[in-house]
Structure 1
Amino acid sequence: MERTVTVEREGLEAAPAAQGAEAFRLNGDPAALAEQLSELGPVRLRVHSAHASQAVTQEITASGWAGNALWLGGRESGLWLYPAQWSFAFAVGQGEPEARQEGLRFVDRDGEVGLTAELTSASDRDAYARILRAHQQPAMRRPIIPGRPALPAFPGTARYAVDPSLIRELLETLADAAIPVRLELGNKGALQTYTGHIDNPVATADGLRVRGAGLGLDLAFAAVASAWVVDIPVPDGRAHTVDLLDDAGERILRLAGRRVPGCPEERAWRTLVQALAACRLAS
């Protein structure tokens, strides 16, 4: 493997890794590399965006292609990947053999790291070594059409602007009442979902930190310019989400209730979000 990067920041989740670590660019198709993540056992998948970072520790138990998108799923969390947006991937490692941190980074066409896959203590490091060896040689890229699939439009959708300062109270209520929530965070090359219970948010110098079982979410709350309750018609009734947007109107984070296909969303989530919508801002 050809050495390409000397890491300067701390931690594999920083770009690209800690001082003294090494990163190696991998050959071949980043999509094929992503398909092999299921061979590693439990890994920590981190999606980066301009204003937030979300990491979920999961074992990938299902995968498949839907057009140009690759789905990697776990128990209640999952990841949609859009390989047409990726340029290449590289491997990062740091530390002594007995406490070595290792992982993969996927870089988009703008040179930004959009996805990191970090090994955990339970990961299969032999499988990781085999994957790295396989991607030292050039390989054919999967034929894909550039672009990300358009999201379907839902006639009858209603949107209500609410005060962004209420979002922390919403997160605290979800934690205190043990109401499960679905979190969606993405960038141009990936969309990650987490469903489960969360702990109370903790204020940081840059915003809010939210933790849960296998979850690590860091949100630059100062970048949230607006918050919206979205009421969407679905075949089994209506579904409600809370979208946090930046000043350019781009979505930073979406919160939704846990839903089982064919069943209505959970009543506790619906009641909570309808109370939030009742505090809508004047248009």
Structure 2
Amino acid sequence: MATEPSRAALRVRFAEARAGGLRPKDAAESLGLSEGAAIAAHVPGAGEDLPAAGLRAVRLRGPWIDLLRSLEDCGPLMALTRNASVVHEKTGVYQGLSAQGPVGLAVGEDIDLRIFFHHWACGFAVHEPAREGPAGPQPSLQFFDANGTAVHKIYPRGQTDAARWQQVAADFADTTSPPPRFVPAEAPVPPRPDDTIDVEAFGQAWAGMHDTHEFFGLLRQHGVERQQGLELMEGRFTQRVPAASVRTLLQAAATGGTPVMVFVGNPGCIQIHTGPVRRIEPMGPWLNVLDPGFNLHLREDHIAGAWVVEKPTDAGTVTSLEVFDSARRLIVQFFGARQPGQAEQPAWRALVAPLRQPA
């Protein structure tokens, strides 16, 4: 029986994969590891001395809400939240942090997060010596779920208070906990058969919504998977549109200067950009927004379903574009920029209208 490679061997192989141009997630997967497991292998064990030229990691302790609050004095930071298909990067100050039980919020001027701390299994302060190239490393705080999948990452920027950043990492360092043990992700539960759902009752409940935030509870109450709900309401509240609709929408928003909201998330965090998008750059399979303070990287070849969705609210109908991958996972949502309780802007509806037209 083959023996598992040592931590030292894993570190060497990970460094080789990184030197070959792979980003950390891809480098870890090339070794058959989760990203979290690859980072954990770089936490020095008792009496272990890691090479000075290599990646080093220090495990962090919570409470995570306290750690995030302590970042405000660091000044501008880059928040990164991703899933398997989309990366959302936003630069700003961590402000307006609050939590109620396991659910947290960051409602700063630029950093806008919905945080689900029960999915934050562990965190690390990571340092990898600088090297050339766009994927070059830098100091970061990285948080992972129980499967070793990244839920949120934080990077210093040029205007970051470096001393304060280092102090936060030191204040929340955890040198006593044992190495984290990651478990394989469970297979997704398939949707219930459509004929077991009371579609009429589901539609009536949808029509009776007062706020978009009721939608998740509505799905749970009726036992409906998200994309299944869109399929069941097709022609009434939803319309299937081409995968190219994402590019069409972003390019039209950039041309017209229409501000949008872009939601990208995973089970542990949802990150939101509100404002204009300007520079839309397709590069191979990636569709990119490359603006000062906001970057979005979307794998267009991962889009398996796109829907225009209407949700009733007390302020009128709210329209969104929801995008799914081949595993039926929601990977990104687009809304028109609006404040809670405000009506949807006509300019946003004008952007969405062409998506509904037959090709």
TM-score range, shorter chain: 0.7 to 0.9
**Structure 1 residue 183: Cα displacement:** 0.3
User: Greater CA radius of gyration, 1 or 2?
Assistant: 2
- The gaps in structure 1 that reach 5 residues or longer are 141-148
Task: After TM superposition, give the deviation of residue 150 of structure 1 in Å.
Answer: 8.3
The answer to whether structure 1 residue 106 and structure 2 residue 143 are counterparts is: yes
Q: CA deviation at 1:52?
A: 1.2
- Inter-partner Cα distance in structure 1 for 2:173 and 2:22: 21
CA RMSD of aligned residues (A): 3.1
User: 1:42·1:58 contact (CA, 8 Å) conserved in 2?
Assistant: yes
Is the 1:71–1:81 contact (alpha carbons within 8 Å) kept by the matching residues of 2?
A: yes
How far off its partner does 1:139 sit? 9.9
AA matched with 1:24: V
Q: In the alignment, is the contact (CA less than 8 A) between 1:210 and 1:218 conserved in 2?
A: yes
Q: Provide the residue aligned with 2:78 in structure 1.
A: 44
Alignment of 1:161-172 (within 5 A): 161-172=240-251
- Pick the structure with more strand per residue: 1
SS at match of 2:272: strand
For 1:120-269, list aligned pairs within 5 A. Answer: 120-137=157-174, 151-153=216-218, 158-269=237-348
Question: Residues 74 and 39 (structure 1 numbering): CA distance in 2 closer, same or farther, change over 3 Å?
Answer: same
Q: In 2 relative to 1, CA 31–139 (structure 1 residues): closer, same or farther, beyond 3 Å?
A: farther
**What's 2:24 paired with?**
14
Structure 1 residues 34 and 235, CA, compared in 2 at 3 Å: closer, same or farther?
same
* Counterpart residue identity of residue 266, structure 1: Q
Pair 1:211–1:153, CA change in 2 (3 A): farther
Task: Give the distance between the partners of 2:344 and 2:100, measured in 1 at CA.
Answer: 25
Q: Which structure is higher in RCO with an 8 Å CA cutoff and minimum separation 6? A: 1
Residue deviations 1:105-157 (CA, integer Å, cap 9, x gap):
001110112211001111122222222222235799xxxxxxxx982339998
Counterpart of 1:32 in structure 2 is: 66
Counterpart of 2:250, as a letter, is L
What secondary structure does 2:277 align onto? coil
SS in 1 for 2:148: coil
- Structure 2 spans left out of the alignment, 5+ residues: 1-6, 26-34, 40-52, 131-135, 178-213, 223-232
**Quick check: 2:303–2:324 contact (8 Å CA) kept in 1?**
yes
Residue in 2 that maps onto 1:57: 91
Asked whether the 8 Å contact 1:197–1:213 carries over to 2, the reply is: no
Residue 117 of structure 1 aligns with which residue?
154
Can you list the C-alpha shifts for 1:66-104, whole angstroms capped at 9, x where unaligned?
Answer: 4421111221540111110111110112347xx993110
Identical counterparts, % of pairs: 25
Deviations 1:169-194 (A, max 9, x none): 22111111111110000001100000
* 1:152 partner SS: helix
Give the 3-state SS of the residue equivalent to 1:173 in structure 2. Answer: helix
| Secondary structure, aligned partner of 2:348 | helix
Q: TM-score, normalising length from structure 1?
A: 0.83
Which residue does 1:146 correspond to in 2? none
Kindly indicate whether the alpha-carbon contact (under 8 Å) linking 1:28 and 1:135 is maintained by their aligned counterparts in 2: yes
- Residue 145 of structure 1 corresponds to which residue in structure 2? none
Partner AA of 1:61 in structure 2 = Q
Aligned-pair CA distance for 1:38: 2.3
One-letter identity of the residue aligned with 2:144: V
Equivalents in 1 of 2:315, 2:331: separation in Å?
A: 27
